[in-house]
Amino acid sequence: MAVLVNNKSRIIVQGFTGTEGSFHASQMIEYGTQVVGGVTPGKGGSTHLDRPVFNTVADAVKNTGADVSIIFVPPAFAADAIMEAAEAGVALVVCITEGIPVQDMVKAKHYLTGTRTRLIGPNCPGVITAEQCKVGIMPGFVFKKGKIGIVSKSGTLTYEAADQVAKAGLGISTAIGIGGDPIIGTTTKEAVELLMNDPETEGIVMIGEIGGNMEAEAARWVKANQRKPVVGFIAGQTAPPGRRMGHAGAIIGGADDTAAAKMKILSECGIEVVQSPADIGATMARVILRAKKGKSENKKVKKDVKKAKAENSKVKKDAKKGKTESKKGRVKGKK
């Protein structure tokens, strides 16, 4: 099992025939992803990469049964592309586009309210379930199949974490690049929750950055619902206040937005925090081993308790038997 996408997912590409759409769609197909078609207005009826091209998302969904869309549309039109996919009933929309105007995303986010559509991104690397389905721009060869989930605002750090986790002998279940813009579809907490509830994911890597409160929100949820080990890293530890660092949402607006403040919150909520991304793989391997050891000891305790209960039951049974025999003896004595 995995979250969001798997080998049965049927994907369409919005902006299919453009340079970015063409390149990454071909990479996704090569990975084994079921790309069933694409959308480029005005080119409906043609084929591209041996897949049909449609004028609208509604036509694409109707003719292919697609349940996932990935968007490679210029910033000025990307919000409309998100809303078009939602209107067509697409369950999962992954928006790669960077630089969408905030006002446009406010409208798109509001439009999605009450629909069945989940949005990942924008300005994200996408989603990948290792060795099953890649819906994004990440290098597929880095993601080896395993049982560690990744949630990250950073594309590059997602790949770094996946590589380290694989080299630690653990591998990846699903990696979710949620995006670094101020307004995104799926928050850190929501993505962590998906992985926490996935029976095949045994541990979670959570990578955040300066700016906003998503990491703190996720950490507090983990504290209240933790059933698996979580390793956390916050990027931007040397960033000066008031200056944007890379992503549009990576700007320190207050004391709680700093890397140090977020790392403190994560640690207080039971998350194993690393100071450097170079420590993610080794730390995850250590906490997974510790968790398994704890489960083993817990299993032994339960076994011992069960054994003690059985012995106690036997003692009670023997005592009852002794009382019965004693009573019989008294009756015989009276006779």
CATH number, domain with residue 272: 3.40.50.261
- CATH code of residue 25: 3.40.50.720
Asked whether residue 163 falls in the same domain as residue 254, the answer is yes
Check whether residue 192 and residue 102 sit in a common domain: no
Query: Does a structural domain hold residue 284?
Result: yes
Q: Do residues 206 and 280 both lie within one domain?
A: yes
Asked, for residue 312, whether it belongs to a domain, the answer is no
**SS3 assignment, position 100:** coil
Sheet hosting strand 35-39, strand order edge to edge: 47-48, 51-54, 35-39, 11-14, 68-71, 92-95, 118-120
Of the candidates 24, 48, 110, 247, the residue annotated as catalytic is 247
Q: Give the pLDDT confidence score for residue 96 in this predicted structure.
A: 98
For residue 166, tell me if it sits in a domain: yes
Instruction: Give per-residue pLDDT as tens, 195-209.
Output: 999 999 999 999 999
User: Count of domains in the chain?
Assistant: 2
Asked if residue 324 belongs to a domain, the reply is: no
Domain identity same for 37 and 144: no
Query: What is the predicted pLDDT for the residue at 328?
Result: 64
Q: Global pTM?
A: 0.86
Give me the amino acid identity at 184. Answer: I
326 Cβ partners below 8 Å, 6+ apart?
A: none
Q: What is the model's pLDDT at position 317?
A: 73
Final residue before a domain boundary, out of 91, 122, 153: 122
Q: Is pLDDT at 249 greater than 80 in this prediction?
A: no
Last residue of a domain, one of 90, 122, 154: 122
Q: pLDDT exceeding 70 applies to what percent of the chain?
A: 83
Q: Tell me the per-residue pLDDT of 208-221, one tens digit each, with 9 for 90 and over.
A: 998 888 999 999 99
- Is 247 a catalytic site residue? yes
Could you report the per-residue pLDDT of 258-296, keeping only the tens digit for each? 888 999 999 999 999 999 999 999 999 999 999 888 766
* 156 shares its domain with 110: no
Task: Indicate left, alpha or beta for 122 from its phi (over 0: left) and psi (-120 to 50: alpha).
Answer: beta
* Phi (first) and psi of residue 184, to 5 degrees: -130, 165
Both 77 and 143 in a single domain?
A: no
In a domain, residue 29? The reply is yes
Give the residue numbers spanning the domain of 256: 138-298
pLDDT tens sequence across 124-179: 999 999 999 999 999 999 999 999 999 999 999 999 999 999 999 999 999 999 99
